[in-house]
Structures are given as C-alpha cells and as structure tokens.
C-alpha cells in the first residue's frame, strides 16, 4: 500500500478508521483502487458494534483508475491492510497475516488456537521447537488417484459441490450473494493438497530453528464462491443447480492468506491453480464414489 499509514492508525477503533478510509485510494500490483465500501467490527462477528459504509456497484469493474475496493476491518486487524488483485486488476482482497488477532468463530477453530497456545507453553517451559501451519482451504486429490477426500457429509465448498454434481437432482446453496465483491459471493484462498504436503516437508526443516514459528499456507489468490462452482462444473462437464441462501453468521466477505512469511523462510510457493485442484478432486470422487474401503475403490 502506498503511502504507508502512520503508526497511530493501528491503535485506533476500527469503526472510526472505517469512516476515514471511505473514498481513499490505494495502489496494489500497479493498480489504483478507490475504497467505495467499508465494513467494520470492533471484534469478529460483533454485530452490536458494526458499521457498513458505502456500496460497491455490482456492475462496476474492480480495477482502476479509479476502480473500486472493499475493505473489511476488525479492531486490531486494520494493521494488516494489504491489497491483492488478480492479473487484470480485479478481485481486490485483504491478505491475512500471521500476526492477526485470533478470534475463532467455531469450536473447531478454538481447538486450533488452544493447540498453538500449548505449543507456545512447551516452547517457553520445556525448550521445544515447534512449527504451526495455518491452512487456507485445502482442496484436491493426489495425482495417483489413490488419495482423496470422501464426498459424503461434505461441509467445505468444493467437496460439497462435487458431491452434488455426482448426485442426480442435488442442488448447492450459496450463502450470501450480496457480499461487496465482484460477483456478490465470498472470496477465499484455496491450496492444493499436494502443495500442502510439500509445505509440511519444508516446515520440518524450520524445526532446526528455536522457538514456535507460525506460517500461513495458501496462494494469496482470491477466488469467489461462484468461480469455484464454475470450475467444478467445468471439471464434471455439466452444471449443478444453485440456490441463493442468506449469509451465515460468522462469515466474512474476504479471507485470503498472506503467504510471504513462509515463502521467506522456505522459498515455498503454491503452484497449482484452482482448475487443477477441482479436477483432481473430481477424478478421485468419480473413481471412489463411496469413499475408502468400498468395492471398486482405489484407496
């Protein structure tokens, strides 16, 4: 972002900061964006202390000049304003860094926080060396076709869509179609499981250093829910019907990893694209329709 924000910016209330950001310009990847919509919470999911200002036109291009940008702020999180755009300058997003204040929105997320806290304790009290990897939406299957994710009881977007594509008459719900993004659906970061496996091997080398190191593992590239569904449709060769549904409590418009720290420590770059992720997952699902252990399964 240019120019750099003053240090006093980071210590202020997100609701106060939001009002001042509206209408400002930022530059990312050589593209100038004007902030036309800001959503702010004092804490994640804190609807009692929430502000939403401005509105990004749904038909407006997300690239400049001046372009349009959406900013999501929480108290303490605005220190991480870091915009990323696609190669055409669209899909502006805020990258999440490892030093973000952690506010889990589910029991599952809470277990991750407690796990990192226990490692902090053992590093401080027992001299352990530890590495924690924070995954951003792992997707895909191994190229061999022998390792994949069973589609039954799927919760994550990609296996849920693939399960629907394989089930006659099934439909997929899109939770929120009025988010301030280019197509109105949430933006997320997805990483292929083979890239993720390679990240684990590199993380093992980091154990040579003392302390507890925390790294994001993602691509830093945002993809919308509609983009993901379209990629799944293309992999299958037909389209799954979709239904618009209300936003889910605790969801946020944009959640994209800042992978810079892990890259700096190990040289890691996630190389596989979204279409490779969903195509590999679809191949495995078709070869193993009942998951592992079933008749005809290659797993």
Q: What are the catalytic residues?
A: 108
Distance CA 273, CA 46 (A): 34
Tokens 């929430």 sit at which residue? 50
Crossing angle of the two packed helices 274-287 and 225-236, in degrees rounded to 10:
50
């Amino acid at each position: 972002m240019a120019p750099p924000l003053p240090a006093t910016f980071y210590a202020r209330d997100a609701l106060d900061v939001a009002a001042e950001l509206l209408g400002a310009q930022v530059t990312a990847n050589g593209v100038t964006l004007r902030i036309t919509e800001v959503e702010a919470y004092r804490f994640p999911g804190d609807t009692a202390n929430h502000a939403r200002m401005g509105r990004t036109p749904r038909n407006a291009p997300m690239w400049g000049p001046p372009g349009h940008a959406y900013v999501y702020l929480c108290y303490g999180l605005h220190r991480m304003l870091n915009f990323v755009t696609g190669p055409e300058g669209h899909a502006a997003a805020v990258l999440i860094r490892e030093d973000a204040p952690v506010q889990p929105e589910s029991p599952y997320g809470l277990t991750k926080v407690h796990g990192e806290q226990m490692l902090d304790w053992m590093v401080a009290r027992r001299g352990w060396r530890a590495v924690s990897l924070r995954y951003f939406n792992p997707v895909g299957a191994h190229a061999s076709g022998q390792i994949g994710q069973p589609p039954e009881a799927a919760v994550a977007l990609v296996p849920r869509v693939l399960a629907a594509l394989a089930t006659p008459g099934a439909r997929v719900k899109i939770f929120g179609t009025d988010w301030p993004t280019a197509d109105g659906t949430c933006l997320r970061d997805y990483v292929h499981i083979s890239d993720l496996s390679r990240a684990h091997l590199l993380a093992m080398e980091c154990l040579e250093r003392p302390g507890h190191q925390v790294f994001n593992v993602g691509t830093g590239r945002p993809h919308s829910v509609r983009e993901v569904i379209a990629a799944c449709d293309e992999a299958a060769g037909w389209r799954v019907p979709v239904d618009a549904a209300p936003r889910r409590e605790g969801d946020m418009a944009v959640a994209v990893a800042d992978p810079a720290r892990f890259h700096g420590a190990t040289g890691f770059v996630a190389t596989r694209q979204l279409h490779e992720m969903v195509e590999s997952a679809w191949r495995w699902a078709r070869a193993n329709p009942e998951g592992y252990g079933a008749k005809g399964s290659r797993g």
